[in-house]
């Protein structure tokens, strides 16, 4: 079996898990921070696509624990990976952990790209949270 790598980003966010969950699962909010349209539904087995002018990402929800865990397959340009969002309540809000796993050694460009992109997406996510009621 080939060794794979993961991109992991963690942040402590000053909002409760329920608010973060909304921003991770409601398509109009997801589009605001990831910059891609989708018909995401937090239901195991739901297939959806993130689409942008450059193309898209085919996804399928594989795990849902409301306000705690959301995992979906992420397939684009030969990369088949899993994106897992884990929300842990803290005294000041939520500890957010995002892991995209499954990068093969021959996918260095995708790995580096994800490593650069996810922190920017999460910063944009924090901006969306600041505008939510």
Given a cut of 80, whether residue 2 has pLDDT beyond it is no
Task: Place 1 in a pLDDT band, splitting at 50, 70 and 90.
Answer: low
Domain boundaries, the chain: 5-131
The pTM for the full model equals: 0.94
**Any residues with CB less than 8 A from the CB of 88 and at least 6 apart, and which?**
17, 68, 94, 95, 97
For residues 69 and 52, give the distance between their C-alpha atoms in angstroms, rounded to a whole number: 25
For residues 23 and 107, give the distance between their C-alpha atoms in angstroms, rounded to a whole number: 29
Mean pLDDT over each residue of the chain, to the nearest integer: 95
User: Other CB atoms closer than 10 Å to residue 98's CB: what's the count?
Assistant: 20
Each residue of 24-53: pLDDT tens digit?
999 999 999 999 999 999 999 999 999 998
Each residue of 103-119: pLDDT tens digit?
999 999 999 999 999 99
Which two three-digit tokens encode residue 122? 């999460």
Give bridge partners of residue 93 from the DSSP assignment: 90
**What CATH architecture applies to the domain 5-131?**
2-Layer Sandwich (3.30)
């Amino acid at each position: 079996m080939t060794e794979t790598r993961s991109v992991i980003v963690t942040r402590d966010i000053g909002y409760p898990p329920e608010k973060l969950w909304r921003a991770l699962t409601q398509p109009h909010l997801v589009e605001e921070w990831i910059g891609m349209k989708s018909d995401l539904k937090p239901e195991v087995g739901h297939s959806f696509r993130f689409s942008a002018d450059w193309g898209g990402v085919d996804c399928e929800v594989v795990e849902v624990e409301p306000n705690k865990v959301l995992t979906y397959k992420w397939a684009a340009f030969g990369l088949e990976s899993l994106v897992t969002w884990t929300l842990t309540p803290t005294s000041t809000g939520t500890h957010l952990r995002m892991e995209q796993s499954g990068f093969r050694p021959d996918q260095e460009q995708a790995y580096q790209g994800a490593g650069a992109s996810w922190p920017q997406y999460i910063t944009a996510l924090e901006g969306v949270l600041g505008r939510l009621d």
